[in-house]
């Protein structure tokens, strides 16, 4: 099977790594990719938001499956353009991707499906914003209605900060604060059948102890030793399947990856948000534990034949990923700094630890930073403690001037 992956972050590197290990994949391409993905896939320059250009590239390559990784191309309708030329695409349509593209749309779908979530107001004026903030009180949860690369959410006790963020958005969703730990659960669906993966937990705040601003994610781990063993079963029944059924009922069937961000509150499971694609950095740890070859599962989703999919096989190992970010991330990250030590990780830590590239590019013989989140160091072990030790040992070998990373990823769960 010839596979083309669209995107160029750590999520796409994790997907490409898994696909490269799949014996059914005969050729692997990525557009535009990054310096790390180039080691496992052939790269092609393309505007990933241009559906016609992506479809044309897929046709030229003879691709038999196109996997659209990031949210922006999905919201732009790239998967639709690929399907229009007769090539199976893993990823929802433009209309269904509004589940991530618009917080207000997602809230409306959840209301129709009876999915438990936070009470909320959609606001477009200063008066509406002030009324909503006053109604809920602190902590204030303010979400930009549109895509914001994982940084459109502010959770704060500071009313002025909450109001300033809300006023900076064209349309904003203000909702009640949900207590309890957060869980990420992915599910692959063809619009009818829903196949949940294993849960993970990520770390959104930039600094140790969940301090600092929100980011796109600074690390993740799986499994969750503290979670209810029936959590996946419960979320499938009360969140994932009802959402997929509701979207189909509305005439906008959702196929691809449905990501549920959940809060395990004192009142039960509540949905924080939906995403329409694999989440970063949770993808890294979930795919590290998946034993079933990936390409066939994604193709079954794209073809509407997921009911024929055999049960997924999972490793009992734990996985931890730690993100290395550039200087001053997430504000105005510095780029162009050389990255050293990657060969040392490959020589000393493989196969239990490896580096996935996010914001990197090749500059002559060197690999340099090219984004805020630069690398994602992923490791597996017999338990979280061992996986965590291996991940941080590999992080310690990498040298990037001014870089930052959290030192407490999975520490509490591992009992460290």
What does the alpha-carbon distance between residue 235 and residue 167 come to, in Å, rounded to a whole number?
A: 34
Round to whole Å and give the CA distance between 95 and 89.
15
DSSP three-state, residue 372: coil
**pTM: predicted TM-score of the whole model, two decimal places:** 0.91
Burial class (CB in 10 A: 0-12, 13-18, 19+), 383: middle
pLDDT at 151: 55
In the numeric block, the tokens 């917080």 are attached to 103
- Amino acid 155: pLDDT: 87
Q: What tokens were used for 147?
A: 């895509």
- Does residue 144 carry a pLDDT above 90? no
Mean pLDDT is lowest, of 8-22, 144-158, 223-237, 316-330, for: 144-158
**pLDDT tens figures, 223-259:** 999 999 999 999 999 999 999 999 999 999 999 999 9
pLDDT band (50, 70, 90) for residue 145:
confident
pLDDT for residue 147 is more than 80: no
Q: Which of 326, 343, 324, 351 is nearest to 402 (CA)?
A: 326
CA distance 4 to 44: 10
205 bridge partner residues: 214
DSSP H helix total and E strand total for the chain: 15, 24
Q: DSSP states of 153-175 as a string?
A: EEEES-HHHHHHHHHTSSSEEEE
Question: What confidence category does residue 205 fall into, taking pLDDT thresholds of 50, 70 and 90?
Answer: very high
Hey, CA dihedral for 386, 185, 171, 12, is it positive or negative?
Answer: positive
Residue 416 pLDDT level (bands cut at 50, 70, 90): low
CA 58 to chain centre: 24
Distance (Å, whole) CA 109 – CA 94? 15
Q: Please report the pLDDT score of residue 392 as a whole number.
A: 98
Q: Examine the pLDDT at 313 and tell me if it is beyond 80.
A: yes
Contacts of 135 (CB under 8 A, 6+ apart): 121
In this structure, how many other beta carbons lie within 10 angstroms of the beta carbon of residue 108?
15
133, 288 contact by CB (below 8 A)? no
Q: Give the SS3 label for residue 140.
A: strand
Note the pLDDT tens digit of each residue in 93-112.
Answer: 999 999 999 888 999 999 99
């Amino acid at each position: 099977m010839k596979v083309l992956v669209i995107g160029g972050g750590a999520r796409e590197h994790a997907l490409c790594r898994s696909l490269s290990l799949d014996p059914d994949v005969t050729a692997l391409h990525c557009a535009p990719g990054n310096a790390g993905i180039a080691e496992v896939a052939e790269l092609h320059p393309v505007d990933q938001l241009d559906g016609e250009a992506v479809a044309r590239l897929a046709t030229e390559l003879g691709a038999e499956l196109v996997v659209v990784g990031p949210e922006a191309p999905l919201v732009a309708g790239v998967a639709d353009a690929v399907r229009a030329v007769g090539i199976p695409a893993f990823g929802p349509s433009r209309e269904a991707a509004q589940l991530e593209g618009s917080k207000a749309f997602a809230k409306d779908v959840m209301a129709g499906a009876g999915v438990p979530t936070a009470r909320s107001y959609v606001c477009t004026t200063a008066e509406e914003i002030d009324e909503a903030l006053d109604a809920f009180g602190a902590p204030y949860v303010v979400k930009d209605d549109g895509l914001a690369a994982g940084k459109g959410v502010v959770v704060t006790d500071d009313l002025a900060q909450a109001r300033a963020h809300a006023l900076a958005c064209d349309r904003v969703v203000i909702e009640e604060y949900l207590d309890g730990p957060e869980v990420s659960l992915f599910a692959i669906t063809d619009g009818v059948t829903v196949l949940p993966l294993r849960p993970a937990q990520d770390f959104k705040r930039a600094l140790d102890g969940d301090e600092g601003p929100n980011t796109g994610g600074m690390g993740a781990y799986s499994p969750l030793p503290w979670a209810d063993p029936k959590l996946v079963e419960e979320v499938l029944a009360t969140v994932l399947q009802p959402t997929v059924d509701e979207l189909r009922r509305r005439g906008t069937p959702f196929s691809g990856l449905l990501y549920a961000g959940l809060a395990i509150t004192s009142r039960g499971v509540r949905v924080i948000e939906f995403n329409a694609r694999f989440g970063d950095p949770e993808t890294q740890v979930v795919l590290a534990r998946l034993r079933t070859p990936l390409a066939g599962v994604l193709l079954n989703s794209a073809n509407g034949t997921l009911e024929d999919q055999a049960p997924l096989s999972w490793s009992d190992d734990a996985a931890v990923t730690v993100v290395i970010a550039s200087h001053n991330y997430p504000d105005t990250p510095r780029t162009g700094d050389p990255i050293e030590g990657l060969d040392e990780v490959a020589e000393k830590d493989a196969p239990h630890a490896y580096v996935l590239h996010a914001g990197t590019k090749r500059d002559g013989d060197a690999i340099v930073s090219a984004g805020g989140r630069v690398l994602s160091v992923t490791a597996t072990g017999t338990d979280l403690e061992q996986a965590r030790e291996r991940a941080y040992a590999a992080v310690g070998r990498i040298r990037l001037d001014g870089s930052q990373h959290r030192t407490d990823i999975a520490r509490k769960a591992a009992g460290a």
